[in-house]
Structure 1
Amino acid sequence: MLRKLGKRERTIARRADHEAQQERISKAVWSILAGKGIEHLTIRAVAAEAGCTTGLVMHRFPGRSALLAHARDLLHARTRERVERLEAEAETPKAALRAILAQGMALTEDSTQEALVWMGFLAASVGDEDLIELHRKNNRAWRERVARLVAASAPGWDEPRVTTAVFTLVGATEGAAQLASFDPQAYGAEAQEAMLDSLLEALGLA
């Protein structure tokens, strides 16, 4: 005979079910973005990919804008986890700086997909101030991380010089990722890394 679950056990079971549903929907969102493109990200498509009802998806995300915001959060979470690990493993600030900048370029299949998702999000954000602000927030966090490592790598630099280096590095690496995601033959991984190393050397951060 099955034992009836107590109140606490039912609460834990509901929480676990909620987390499993959330994970399934998140995976579906990323799968659509990476495989089909942001224009295919709809409530109906996510429900079909996740194997659930549109009502369940809409309960979590009431509209496409909410789905897009979730997608941007997923991208930010993926990169944050990766860069924190790379920074922790690096032996010097310069090594950490080089490692986190490289992971943001289109050097692998996964990072190429992330570059495409990032561009799709930017395109979808046009005219949506909430999405634009979310992008600004995450990009600001990224610049602050790069700035901290630049300052640690060159402790004698003043703030304007650090800021200029940050904009140069962020602009160059993100630009390379976008170009490579559409023309991998011209902008292959080796070419991207050579560009990064040359830029770091020119700035005195190699």
Structure 2
Amino acid sequence: MPPPAPGDREARRKDVSEAVWTVLADKGFGGLTLRAVAAAMNVSTGMLMHYFPTKRALIAHALDLLEVRTAERPRRARPAEGLPAVRAMVLDILPLTPQDTARNRIWVSSWDIALADEELASEQAGRYARLRASIRPHFEAAGRLAQLADERADAEQLAATAVAFTHGLVVQALFDPGRFPKEVQVAMVDEFLGSLGVR
């Protein structure tokens, strides 16, 4: 079968991405194969290989797609500068709704695959660096507004701590949702941020 024409290729790219997302949502990265995506599109594996010649290319696309879908998700309004904005960002990450839970399950399922590939691991590290960088300005604002208990606290380190706390809570909530329902997660976030703030 000849490769698709450039116009057709771009026209089909959205369909391919939707099929990749469908497989991720249903099976996670462990079930992401060329065969599964082809079946979701009702096309041959050979046709799909015009887009992804290897499984690694498919996985790299899926990670990029996951980042885009995460960035495009509905978000809470940032109520105020400083710690209230950090709180909103952290709550946006946690598995507090079925949609958030599904997205986080996909993220967690990607870790093993990314860790096994040096380039994918580096790209994933870049994603987390961007997340930390997006939170850091809000800690800087918290410092300027005298919201922090330690006025000398380093905003970059606080952002790293907040991301580490958040992802740890994500994992706990995914594996033990009965112990970590929505209200418990929110309370833990408030306790964590309260420990950083002025008392």
| TM-score band, normalised by shorter chain | 0.7 to 0.9
Paired residue type of 1:106: P
Residue 115 of structure 1 corresponds to 104
User: Which segment drifts farther, 166-175 or 41-50?
Assistant: 166-175
How many angstroms does 1:95 deviate by?
A: 3.0
Give TM-score scaled by structure 1 length: 0.83
Identity %: 35
Structure 2: 5+ residue stretches without partners: none
Query: Which residue identity does 2:179 align to in structure 1?
Result: A
User: 1:173 matched to which residue of 2?
Assistant: 166
Structure 1 equivalent of residue 117 of structure 2: 128
Residue type of the partner of 1:122? Answer: W
Count of matched residue pairs: 189
Give the residue type in structure 1 aligned to 2:170: A
Contact in 2 for aligned 1:153/1:205 (Cα 8 Å): no
Q: Could you tell me which residue of structure 2 aligns to residue 197 of structure 1?
A: 190
Question: Partner residue of 1:4?
Answer: none
Is 1:103 aligned to residue 96 of structure 2? no
Who is 2:24 aligned against?
33
> 1:138 aligned to 2:138?
no
- Partners of 1:79 and 1:148 in 2: how far apart? 20
Runs of 4+ aligned structure 1 residues displaced above 4 Å come to none
Structure 1 gaps, min length 5: 1-12
**Greater mean deviation of Cα atoms: 188-197 or 18-27:** 18-27
| Other structure's SS at 1:60 match | coil
Structure 1 residue 45 corresponds to structure 2 residue 45: no
Q: 1:182: how far off? A: 1.9
More helix, by proportion: 1
1-structure distance, mates of 2:113, 2:173: 21
**Cα RMSD after superposing both structures:** 2.2
Query: TM-score normalized by structure 2?
Result: 0.85
Classify the secondary structure of the residue corresponding to 2:50: helix
CA contact (8 A) 2:28 2:110 kept: no
